[in-house]
Amino acid sequence: HRDLHSFPTRRSSDLKSIRLPPIRVVVQVSSDAFMTVDTMVRKAQSFIETRRHGHITVRDVTRAVGTNHTTLGKRFQRELGVTLHQYLLRRRLAYAQERLLQGDASVERVALECGFPSVSYFSEVFTEVIGRRPGLVRRARLGSVTNGS
């Protein structure tokens, strides 16, 4: 058992930098949530998170926060770099993706749960934002379950 102080020490100028590529990146639901000091934006984010599984509007959010669309929109843009509508849509789609990956609901059911007026509109928006069609996301999950993954 060697004492920590018995190891040879090096000066920082003797050390070489080693860069390693990441093994993988794990994106979590909370990655873009609640990363601001603006209390109004955080309050809006909290409201959205607890209701992202349904149909909520920008108006619902502004009423819950006690402000107007212009004020909250400017704060979202300044703090998060996206509009309030974009943020709301992204959170609803993130929830939809989670539901599709669970594999226990059809694309139609997920679209309705997430407050989209039609499956075709949901599919169009999901594909544009997520980059894959919702049916493919669901089938990929179902395929991995049946293959023992």
| Cβ-Cβ contacts under 8 Å for 145 (sequence gap 6 or more) | 103
> Is the full-model pTM beyond 0.95?
no
Place of tokens 């100028």: 13
Phi, psi of 30 (to 5 degrees): -85, 5
Place of tokens 């006690």: 66
Is the model more confident about 14 or about 76? 76
- Output the six-digit token pair for 30: 């909370």
pLDDT value of residue 147 = 46
Phi, psi of 141 (to 5 degrees): -65, -45
Share of the chain above pLDDT 70, in %: 70
Q: Tell me: pLDDT of 68 over 50.
A: yes
- CB-based contact 115:56 (threshold 8 Å): yes
86-110 residue pLDDT tens: 999 999 999 999 999 988 899 999 9
